[in-house]
Structure 1
């Protein structure tokens, strides 16, 4: 009796409409490597959610200005700005871009006495840390997300300010660095170097002499030579304020981390059908699974789709070659154009086949991950119409 070949497992489909229509979904986080269209995907999801009746705010952490332009805004900053939606949208859409320096300043002003806050904001070391210190962007992304979620309170009409937050993350693996923010911040605050720098301020007066041994004095003198006396004092002044100002931030970051693990959050990994991007997508999927983060699925963006699927690349090339081999007397003015179009179709068909092979390879390695494929657009998406078309593709439409 001949053996029957087992059917290949069917890849589950990611249903964006079902995701955003679920009132239990409050946060959608778009993550992935750079250049795969996370910003556009986040904007398209946010717009589709608003037009489906949700009150949406979209937060981009990417410093690019594409989101503002696509949403018809001149600029985005740390304050949510309303997006004008044509027609009866049913919901609402606000957009903002993370300003990590401003967010950092707001944390200081909110959790320190006015005179203390003024002293910290004027501190040169603080100004450097809040503008360019490694990890600051991720710390502040966690802080801003927590603030937005806390603002989901009842408005004047009895409805929440926002019932859906869509987050666009930084490119590459740093897109998940904000998941590590609470732990890394705690390690920094509790580290030996920080305790050393903050000991003079904590001890004060004669107690300083008791706290600092001769060995510690040697370290301090060395730091003074390396950093300079004024810079070391700036660092010590800044570190002395960490506990009072950022102890609360560490707690809030822990709360936001726990929020990201709840069922009301959905992570959407965005990739393009290329080896490197899908390898990064696999990393994201595995990391989210390790951290217990709820994964909605994968958006495979910019997938090539041949205009005539029934015409294979081989047949198109054969037809092009046949036309090109004709004698000049047997050809017309359109023969060369037809041959060129057949070759172009062959290239697109080959790219489409390669994209599908890569998609199958990913799904074979991650069979339980829902996937939706978004066809490559004919041109860059730069307005609400383009975002709306992408939203339809995300929902499985054409």
Structure 2
């Protein structure tokens, strides 16, 4: 028999004034956004001023809070009970990049950068930009000092942890051969610069220069010349935010459902966080099915239910009762399967605190639904084994 895992004490985590950042991560479709919103709401109603930042481009956070939409600025959520306040926002990658340019360069240079076609493409499509901007926005929110607690809802899938790589990836990009090549004309000047630029691209991409044309190269060169002075600031801020994530004031909460793929992803997150020395609070197993009928009639096992249903069917008696017995048998089998999967995770990660949230009767789309999820999160009662 597996030893039960330590229990994740959600209220203790939310009430601890040293907890300043909670990062929710997990694979897609596990209810991570709902868990993040429920944590934020519960913390606010327990007296903390909270902002929930979602990096997921889907609009589930706004929907779960019963509002139309969110943008790149914190929006106050009405209807919160208690002494705290709750705000929510959705990361706008492009707008955040623009804000950085405006904040860290003079007005003339900012206008030049923002109007540059190469920048406009880079700021909205460069791989890793979303994760880096998430780091920037988290750093901005923390430096503002406006909130006691920041809850971050990361994108789905393993990319949810890509923001841990953001400082290194941005550094590689800024220090890369391509960026140095683009900066060369500004340093050599005049026609020689254009020749160096064109020759360099020829070495890298061959026919790409013919496809893209000289105008794009000039746009890129102009962008780098204006942007170069900001490179160091990007790297420095990202590194500070990365260090912030490693402090005891940050807590990572991994969210999963009792399914093989989701729990494998959860194991990946737990192991990666350990490698990066990130503080893990624990695992939330969401949408768990309880075998509650077993507590009422412990002798009515799945096998006995199925056998009784078959007997009634053979006799042609009580078809409704037979259907209910089959339904109960299926529910018991599902609960037992989920219990085995959770036990497998616990066996592999025995020190990770766990809490479970029962499956809801319907999708969460308002504060009342989030209250129920928050209550379940903090209940800290082990889900009965099948």
TM over 0.5: yes
What SS is found at the alignment partner of 2:87? Answer: strand
Alignment of 1:165 with 2:150, yes or no, is yes
Aligned length: 376
Q: Residue 284 in 1 paired to residue 269 in 2?
A: yes
Which of 9, 31, 34 matches 2:28? 34
Q: Which residue of 2 aligns with 1:156?
A: none
More off after superposition, 13-22 vs 130-139: 130-139
Could you tell me which runs of 5 or more consecutive residues in structure 2 were left unpaired when the two chains were aligned: 382-386
- Cα deviation, residue 225, structure 1: 1.9
Contact 2:302 2:333 in 1 (8 A): yes
| Cα-to-partner distance string for 1:337-383 (whole Å, 9 max, x where unaligned) | 22111111111111110000000000000111111111111111111
Please say if residues 105 and 121 of structure 1, whose CA atoms lie closer than 8 Å, have aligned partners that are also in contact. Answer: yes
Q: 2:239 aligns with which of 254, 266, 291?
A: 254
For residue 218 of structure 1, report the CA deviation from its aligned partner. Answer: 5.2
2:177 aligned to 171, 187, 192, which one? 192
**For 2:3, which of 9, 21, 26 is the aligned residue?**
9
Task: Judge conservation of contact 1:50–1:90 (CA < 8 Å) in 2.
Answer: yes
Separation of aligned partners in 2, 1:356 and 1:218 = 59
Aligned counterparts of 1:93 and 1:213: Cα–Cα separation in 2: 51
C-alpha separation between the residues in 1 aligned to 2:228 and 2:200? 21
Q: Distance in 2 between matches of 1:60 and 1:113?
A: 30
Alignment of 1:366 onto 2:355: no
Where does residue 39 of structure 2 map in the other structure? 45
The structure-2 alpha-carbon separation of the partners of 1:196 and 1:86, relative to structure 1 and needing over 3 Å to count, comes to closer
Instruction: Give the match's secondary structure for 1:171.
Output: coil
Detail structure 1 runs of 4+ shifted over 6 Å in the superposition. Answer: none
Deviation at 1:224, TM superposition (A): 2.9
Distance, in Å, in 1 between the alignment partners of 2:272 and 2:204 is: 40
Give matches, 1:168-317, under 5 Å: 168-205=153-190, 208=193, 212=196, 216=200, 219=203, 222=206, 224-309=209-294, 310=298, 311-317=300-306
Q: Quick check: 1:80–1:96 contact (8 Å CA) kept in 2?
A: yes
Shift of 1:242: 3.3
- String of CA shifts for 1:31-77, please: whole Å, max 9, x gaps: 01111111000000000000111110000111222211221222100
Deviation of 1:259 (Å): 0.1
Change (3 A) 1:122 1:365: same
What does residue 384 of structure 2 align with? none
2:131 matched to 1:147?
Answer: no
Does the CA-based 8 Å contact 1:189-1:242 persist in structure 2? no
Mapping of residues 93-108 of structure 1, within 5 Å = 93-108=86-101
Q: 1 CA distance for matches of 2:197 and 2:362? A: 67
Alignment of 1:67 with 2:61, yes or no, is yes
Q: Partners of 1:202 and 1:302 in 2: how far apart? A: 59
Q: Deviations over 1:279-307 (max 9, x none)?
A: 11111000000000000001011111123
Query: Shift of the alpha carbon at 1:196?
Result: 0.9
Q: SS of the residue aligned with 1:241?
A: helix
Note the alpha carbon deviations across 1:302-345, whole angstroms, 9 max, x for none: 11112302232112111211221224xxx4xxx21221111111
Q: Secondary structure at the match of 1:325?
A: helix
Distance 1:217 1:34, change over 3 A: closer
Is 2:181–2:197's contact at 8 Å kept on the other side of the alignment? no
State whether residues 112 and 226 of structure 2, in contact with CA within 8 Å, keep that contact through their aligned partners in structure 1.
no
| TM value normalised by structure 2 | 0.93
TM-score normalized by the length of structure 1: 0.90
Corresponding residue for 1:122?
A: 115
The superposition leaves residues 226-268 of structure 1 with CA deviations (integer Å, 9 ceiling, x where unpaired) of 4211111112222223332342121111000000000000000
